[in-house]
Structure 1
Amino acid sequence: MSLPEEDLTCPVCCDIFRDPVLLSCSHSFCRSCLKQCWDTRVRECPVCRRKASKSPPPSNLALKNVCEALQQVRRQITEEEHLRCSLHGEKLKLFCLNDEQPICVVCQASKLHKNHDCSPVEEAFLDCKNKLELFLKSLQSKMESLKMLYRTSADMSTYIKYQTLETQRKIKSQFEQLHQALHDEESARTEAVKKEEEERITAVKEKMNKLSAEMLSVTETMSAVEKQLKEDDLNLLKNFKATQDRDRGTVDGLDDMSGLLIDVTKHLSNLKYRVLEKILDNVGYSPVTLDPSTAHPCLILSEDLTSLHYSKQPSCCPDNPERFHVSAEVVGMSSLGSGSHHWIVETGSNQDWLLGVASLSAPRNTEVAARPENGFWTICFRGGELRAMNSPPTLLTIKSKPEQVKVQLDCSKGTVSFSDPVDHSLLYEFTQTFTEPLLPYFYTQSTKPLRIMPEKVIITVLQQ
């Protein structure tokens, strides 16, 4: 190629011509470079400033062919250099298995690769290609998992907003109930004060009426006495006894003014305490609260999280790892790791349930039997029969289906017992050394609810 490289360079972009065009002044430019110049300036040659024709400039085919040939030579040189060792200039015919890079025969004999295992590049190409294909498959699988996690995260974000609104609504509802209870109690107590006011005023008015009558009687007596004093001696003596007897008719007790005021102490003494005590009589404490984040989508929990029932229509909840994914199960909120605990579950007309405790690490994403070897200590009622879920299950003899079941966990003794709270009869007891915290456990596939019974709250006053 006789032309020097600078003659093949566009004066605008200073690079090899791409689709060159020729102006009437014999200067050539890339078509795109010339268009850019003309878009911003007048239509003239960017080099000599000679006015250009209004017609589109023709392609410089000869220059285009020379430039394309130059580019082809450059690519070939680059490819050849790519296939040669950068240290020795020899062709890369081997692949070092230790360093996982192509080398030449001189590299193989050098200290860097002398004792390394090598293979021909053709064989290494096939091996590496297979490995990369497997790696690509693993990356594709990882990408699918990441996409699934991303979708789950997006679902969780939406569900968190829903949870926030629902929780706020339920909090507001319960406080409205408390406000209403306080308002009703306030109304009742202010009405009691008003009623006592009316009774006291009535009593005072009655006393005032009696006092008025007595005052009238005394006035009349005084007039009679004054008149008697003006008469002669004999008439005074004749009417003396009658005048004396008139005063004996005075009503007794008119001077007793006690007990007429409002009994303020009765209405205000320890008012807050007595109102709280009365409200607590109607508000039970649940020893176990269900954890909605663990509930299977087909389980419907009550607003106060103390009852559950089954629904064939699953709820829209995220697939979080804490949730039971396969079976209609849920656990309590608080883990129990020490001490003694008990709760009573009302089974009512539910004919398909399991109750007991589950270990904190019990599996939740696979279907396993709720038995001790899997971290569950439960009893099961199904098909009209009650069983302790051992391996195999133990059929329990009962007179009738229990309407309530008391579950008692004693961590120090290592026992989980089940009894009928009505007659206190023991249904079954597991003995186990627990190595991790436990959670109250519930299962049902019945539309009839299981309900955790509330316990009465007792306020104790400590005397100082």
Structure 2
Amino acid sequence: MSLPEEDLTCPVCCDIFADPVLLSCSHSFCRGCLKHCWDTGIRECPVCRKKASKCNPPSNLALKNVCEAVLQVRRLSSVEGEDKVNCILHGEKLKLFCLIDKQPICVVCQSSKLHKTHDCSPIEEALLDCKDELALSLKSLQEKLDNLKRINMTSNTTLTCIKSQALETQKMIKNHFEQLHQILYHEELARLAAVKKEEEEKIAGMKEKIKELSAEVTCLTETIAIIQEQLKEDDMVLLKNFKDTQDRCKSIMLGSENMSRLLIDVTKHLYNLKYRVWEKLLDHVDYTPITLDPNTAHPCLILSDDLTSLHYSKQPSICPDNPERFHMSAEVVAMTALGSGSHHWVVETGSNHDWLLGVASMSVPRNMEISARPENGFWTLCFRDGDLRAMTSPPSLLTVSRTPKQVKVQLDYNKGTVSFFDATDNTLLYAFTHSFTEPLFPYFYTQSSHPLRILPERVLVTMLRQ
């Protein structure tokens, strides 16, 4: 057990004992200090004044060994302290910091070939700069860690949603196939297997994603802990380790932040399902030219089971915050991007008095609210407050004899036109002209509880006989 330093101090010189001797009164003194006191002619203990029985008191060997051990530790600590502040190559004090090699150097190092052409700064300035830079790195890494933790939390919600989507999709597939009875039994099994396979693939992918996120969180946490420890270290230790620490920060590559395309592709399994089996039951086929994509729908939009109608609900549904989804307003797009040719679809607006219909560019932002106008990548017709407007800049009020209950949207991509008709008598309502540069999605918006419905088209089958 180590003794307190005051127990190893001579009462005369107030320093660590040097060759301590022990008097009969049990007090110890340096041999030289005691001799100096006794040279005055009085042979007594300098502390308690008791007369000494011997003129040459014995050495206190145990105390001497302890004191020598303490002095040895002091000498080693002094040498280590000099090593921290002195150059290991030249023995000179480290007064400069090489801005190229990110290392503290002495004035001799600066004159050497290794650093002669390098920019340097005083060690005090460099210390402040390095601390500031590490603080910025720490802040950036902490933000990345917080973001990864947030993504990791939402990933579990996404995983649950994938399972829910898979179950709901399977339920809808069963409903469709029940209408087709035994003739479509084998087709039904095939569709269910496809959903199950995708579910397993998506769940496996999601679990791997969560595993990668956890690994990245661990890596970032360890790096942050190292930086925090470095900031607590001696200044010179911090500077010597600065380059390695910074290299470690820069070497961290985060690849798990992309959360796109993780959900079940519901429309792949459900769109125009009856049409795809028309050869088996033509009388039961309903074909719609476009199908809504539920993975893009705002949480307040309720889509029908067959993904051909939508209406607004004040009670938002619980759904993942995936990048494809519209987050700010009640919007949704169809599944298929249109990049060439001519396309049309008819939307039944019915009693809905708050809607926008048209097309939107693939690149329109989905995490902010912007006007549905051509300069923002939208070509739409709007009905609100009893007025029909073409969403030009500014919007153009349209004069019509009656409010259309069915609106036909016709896109000729190659000619660069988007036209709107009253589907009842095919009267032109408005036509946009634009040179399109990217694919377009059929676009829908509503804040009405009355549905907008994409009407099915008649299917004509021509048999070629040889």
TM-score computed with the length of structure 1 as normaliser: 0.64
Mapped to 1, the partners of 2:291 and 2:350 lie a distance apart of 19
**Equivalent in the alignment of 1:382:** 384
Mapped to 2, the partners of 1:61 and 1:328 lie a distance apart of 86
Quote how far apart the aligned CAs of 1:153 are: 2.5
Equivalent residue in structure 2 for 1:149, among 148, 151, 160? 151
Is the CA contact (8 Å cut-off) linking 1:328 and 1:444 kept in structure 2? yes
Equivalent residue in structure 2 for 1:361, among 359, 363, 381? 363
Mapped to 1, the partners of 2:134 and 2:170 lie a distance apart of 53
**Equivalent in the alignment of 1:410:** 412
Aligned length: 314
**Equivalent in the alignment of 2:176:** 174
**Equivalent in the alignment of 2:333:** 331
Unaligned runs of 5+ in 2: 1-61, 186-276
Mapped to 2, the partners of 1:68 and 1:317 lie a distance apart of 69
1:130 matched to 2:128: no
**Equivalent in the alignment of 1:233:** none
Quote how far apart the aligned CAs of 1:107 are: 0.4
1:105 matched to 2:107: yes
**Equivalent in the alignment of 2:293:** 291
Is the CA contact (8 Å cut-off) linking 1:294 and 1:323 kept in structure 2? yes
Quote how far apart the aligned CAs of 1:300 are: 0.8
Residues 276 and 93 of structure 1: is their aligned pair in 2 closer, same or farther, counting only changes over 3 Å?
A: closer
Equivalent residue in structure 2 for 1:161, among 151, 163, 184? 163
SS at match of 2:332: strand
Q: Write the deviation string for residues 310-335 of structure 1: whole angstroms up to 9, x where unpaired.
A: 11111111111111111110000001
Residues 281 and 79 of structure 1: is their aligned pair in 2 closer, same or farther, counting only changes over 3 Å?
A: same
Mapped to 2, the partners of 1:181 and 1:420 lie a distance apart of 40
Equivalent residue in structure 1 for 2:122, among 117, 120, 123? 120
Quote how far apart the aligned CAs of 1:412 are: 1.9
**Equivalent in the alignment of 1:400:** 402
Mapped to 1, the partners of 2:138 and 2:173 lie a distance apart of 51
Quote how far apart the aligned CAs of 1:362 are: 1.3
Is the CA contact (8 Å cut-off) linking 1:277 and 1:459 kept in structure 2? no
Mapped to 1, the partners of 2:63 and 2:320 lie a distance apart of 65
**Equivalent in the alignment of 1:95:** 97
Residues 276 and 149 of structure 1: is their aligned pair in 2 closer, same or farther, counting only changes over 3 Å?
A: closer
Quote how far apart the aligned CAs of 1:407 are: 0.4
AA at the equivalent of 1:146: L
**Equivalent in the alignment of 1:210:** none
**Equivalent in the alignment of 2:453:** 451
Residues 145 and 182 of structure 1: is their aligned pair in 2 closer, same or farther, counting only changes over 3 Å?
A: closer
Matches within 5 A, 1:343-354: 343-354=345-356
**Equivalent in the alignment of 1:321:** 323
Residues 77 and 345 of structure 1: is their aligned pair in 2 closer, same or farther, counting only changes over 3 Å?
A: same
AA at the equivalent of 1:88: H
Mapped to 1, the partners of 2:104 and 2:409 lie a distance apart of 71
Between structure 1 and structure 2, the one with the greater Rg is 1
Mapped to 2, the partners of 1:276 and 1:361 lie a distance apart of 35
Aligned-residue sequence identity (percent) comes to 67
Mapped to 2, the partners of 1:414 and 1:326 lie a distance apart of 29
Quote how far apart the aligned CAs of 1:177 are: 2.0
Q: Write the deviation string for residues 344-373 of structure 1: whole angstroms up to 9, x where unpaired.
A: 000010010000001111111111111111
Unaligned runs of 5+ in 1: 1-59, 184-274
Q: Which moved more, 1:279-288 or 1:122-131?
A: 279-288
AA at the equivalent of 1:404: Q
**Equivalent in the alignment of 2:425:** 423
Residues 125 and 446 of structure 1: is their aligned pair in 2 closer, same or farther, counting only changes over 3 Å?
A: same
Is the CA contact (8 Å cut-off) linking 1:281 and 1:457 kept in structure 2? no
Is the CA contact (8 Å cut-off) linking 1:281 and 1:456 kept in structure 2? no
AA at the equivalent of 1:438: L
SS at match of 2:318: coil
Is the CA contact (8 Å cut-off) linking 2:278 and 2:285 kept in structure 1? no
